[in-house]
Amino acid sequence: MAKELLAGKKNNQYKIIIGKNSISKKNISSFTKSHKKLLIITDEGVPQKIIQHVVSLSKAKSKVFTVILDQGEKAKSLSNFQKIINFLIDHNFDRSDGIIAVGGGVVGDISGFAASTYLRGISFIQIPTCLLYTSDAADDSLRV
C-alpha cells in the first residue's frame, strides 16, 4: 500500500506518494487528465515495463510522447536540454501541456529545468523509480 506525505509550504503543498504500487491511475490521473499533451522524459536505465505502464496510464486523456536519454550524469547536458526544448517546440506544446520525468536524479533535474524554462514554465511531475532517486528528488525539491 502506498504512503502519502505532504511537502512544501501551506500555499504550495504537493503530494509525495511512496510505495510498491504507487504508479497507478488514481495517483497520476489528477495530473494527466488536465493536459492535452504529455512528454515523458526517461533514460535507458529505466525498465521498459515501467515506461510503458506510465504511458498507458497517461494515454487515457492525453496525447503522449516519449524522449529517452542516455543513462548517467553525462545526460545532464546542454545538448539534451536543447533536444527536449526542440521536441516541445516541434510538437507545439503550450502552457496547457505537461512533462513527466520517469527515472533518476539526472532525468528529474533536466526535465524539471526544461519544464521551468519552456514558455516560462509548464506543468511537471516526477516519478522516481527507486528509493535512492526518491530521496534525491525530495532533497532537490526541499532546496528550491
**Integer Cα distance of 19 and 11 in angstroms:** 26
Q: Is 136 exposed, middle or buried (0-12, 13-18, 19+ CB in 10 A)?
A: middle
Are the beta carbons of 6 and 16 closer than 8 angstroms? yes
Could you give the C-alpha distances from 18 to 22, 99, 133, in angstroms and in order?
6, 20, 12
Low-confidence ranges of the chain (pLDDT < 70): 1, 130-144
Q: What is the pLDDT, as a whole number, of residue 142?
A: 39
Each residue of 73-94: pLDDT tens digit?
999 999 999 999 999 999 999 9
* End-to-end CA gap in the chain: 29
Place of cell 504511458: 55
